[in-house]
Amino acid sequence: MARRKKNMHSTTIEGKQLRPESLMMTYGYKPEWSEGAIKSPIFQTSTFAFKSAEEGKAFFELAYGLREAEPNEKIGMIYSRLNNPDLEILEDRLTLWDKSDGAAVFASGMAAIATTFFTFLKPGSIIIHSEPVYGGTDYLLKHILPEFGIKSYGFPAGKTGIAALEKLFKKESVAANTAMVFIETPANPTNSLVDIEAVADVIALHKTKKRQILLAVDNTYLGPLWQHPLKHRADLVLYSATKYIGGHSDVIAGVCLGSNPLMTQVKIYRTIMGTMADPWTGWLLLRSMETLKLRMTAEMEAARYVADFLAKHPKVERVYYLGHLTKDDSQYDVYKRQCLAPGGMIAFDIVGGEAEAFRFLNNLSLFRLAVSLGGTESLAEHPASMTHSDVDPKERQKMNITDKMIRLSIGVEHHEDLIADLKHAFSAV
């Protein structure tokens, strides 16, 4: 494999920009690097031979930031904890969807989030975050970061969020020590939105030349197809690639995207903490990315039929689905500005409580009863007793995550078959 350079990969034909889905099979890889193989091999190797000692020295100088890169010079292959061709090709392709300079792939979504937090937060730092956030992230914010002298403050996703965020910044100690605002939008499982640009506006009032306040967005729920936070002035985008990017419920991985200066810092921490993905995971994700648009489009289209069916069903009290926001809802404007489609995640309240919810879940057959999301198969789960069971019960109530709520992740099955399964399960309640 030759030393790869960014400008070797054209993304245009006669000056016309090609779309990400058109580049997912070829960008970042040339068959002549690997005996003409149309697909990149799995580079199952821990280390890479240097052509000369001078080359080895040059690679390390860049990897460890000892000097600036020459124009078009990229770090050569050194050791698979630093870089690996499968990860690099994948990272190049990931940058296309979110239009970012750089990307880093991790062993899990939590590895991406934790490594990014530890890169930019130091003892004494404050991180402000939207609520609710993913359970693992919540635990990291509330139980692990404090052990390192990093405090966290939450504000609610949804209508009242920005006012609450502004209020937090009014406190002098918060304004002076906040290093990052982390948001998850849409929030899991309620689909409440956080206005990314409005958060960026609040940050702009408080950051100074000397002190950066980074805006990081967990884009797992809608991205990389239906929401592009960098466009709305976020600095960093995070993914659990276990979900839509992997898309087949067979791999655990994560991603962080952002500008080159930020990604250089993140990659140093990834190298030292050893939180990168392995080559086989990289290869599997390359395969997944080829069908990312097909899968996410099919899932989004089927979800609309399912959400419409639920909204009309007498045993459903309320549906939480972005495609049902109406113009009189203050979240509608945010949705129109920052989301390209409602995605494939739906939550709903069944009439009754835990007993009714469990009977419904136990009578599904095409939907699997499992946590996780974004795979080709449809999944159903009970947030209050499963994914969100460790959230404080009072907090959970405030977020509308009650015993009657069920969360669905819509897969690529025919929507009529999914609805038949739901109908059957409702008839058992």
Ligand X SMILES: *Cc1c(COP(=O)(O)O)cnc(C)c1O
Binding residues (CB under 6 A) for ligand X: these are: 108-110, 134, 136-137, 184, 188, 218, 220, 240, 242-243, 252, 254
Taking the complex as a whole, the smallest distance from the CB of residue 59 to ligand X amounts, in Å, to 30
Does 146 sit behind a cis peptide bond, omega within 30 degrees of 0 on the bond before it?
no
Taking the complex as a whole, the smallest distance from the CB of residue 188 to ligand X amounts, in Å, to 5
> Which amino acid makes up residue 322?
L
Taking the complex as a whole, the smallest distance from the CB of residue 410 to ligand X amounts, in Å, to 15
Nearer Cβ to ligand X, position 20 or 135? Answer: 135
Nearer Cβ to ligand X, position 56 or 136? Answer: 136
Does 186 sit behind a cis peptide bond, omega within 30 degrees of 0 on the bond before it?
yes
Nearer Cβ to ligand X, position 103 or 252? Answer: 252
> With contact defined as beta carbons under 8 Å apart, do 126 and 179 qualify?
yes
Nearer Cβ to ligand X, position 152 or 242? Answer: 242
> With contact defined as beta carbons under 8 Å apart, do 343 and 405 qualify?
no
Instruction: Find the residue with minimal CB distance to ligand X.
Output: 109
> With contact defined as beta carbons under 8 Å apart, do 389 and 405 qualify?
no
Nearer Cβ to ligand X, position 109 or 343? Answer: 109
Taking the complex as a whole, the smallest distance from the CB of residue 24 to ligand X amounts, in Å, to 21
Taking the complex as a whole, the smallest distance from the CB of residue 45 to ligand X amounts, in Å, to 25
Q: What's 276's DSSP letter?
A: B
Taking the complex as a whole, the smallest distance from the CB of residue 300 to ligand X amounts, in Å, to 17
Taking the complex as a whole, the smallest distance from the CB of residue 277 to ligand X amounts, in Å, to 10
Nearer Cβ to ligand X, position 111 or 310? Answer: 111
Residue 274: CB atoms within 10 Å: 10
Nearer Cβ to ligand X, position 213 or 252? Answer: 252
Give the closest residue to 197 by CA, choosing from 234, 155, 157: 234
Nearer Cβ to ligand X, position 4 or 243? Answer: 243
Which of left, alpha, beta for 162 (phi over 0: left; psi -120 to 50: alpha)?
A: alpha
Which tokens in the block code for residue 389?
A: 């069971």
Residue 205: CB atoms within 10 Å: 10
For the range 241-244, what are the long-range contacts, defined as Cβ-Cβ under 8 Å and sequence gap of 24 or more? 241/105, 241/109, 241/285, 242/108, 242/109, 242/372, 242/374, 243/109, 243/372, 243/373, 243/374, 243/375, 244/220, 244/292, 244/295, 244/296, 244/373, 244/374
> With contact defined as beta carbons under 8 Å apart, do 135 and 387 qualify?
yes
> With contact defined as beta carbons under 8 Å apart, do 100 and 236 qualify?
no
Taking the complex as a whole, the smallest distance from the CB of residue 118 to ligand X amounts, in Å, to 15
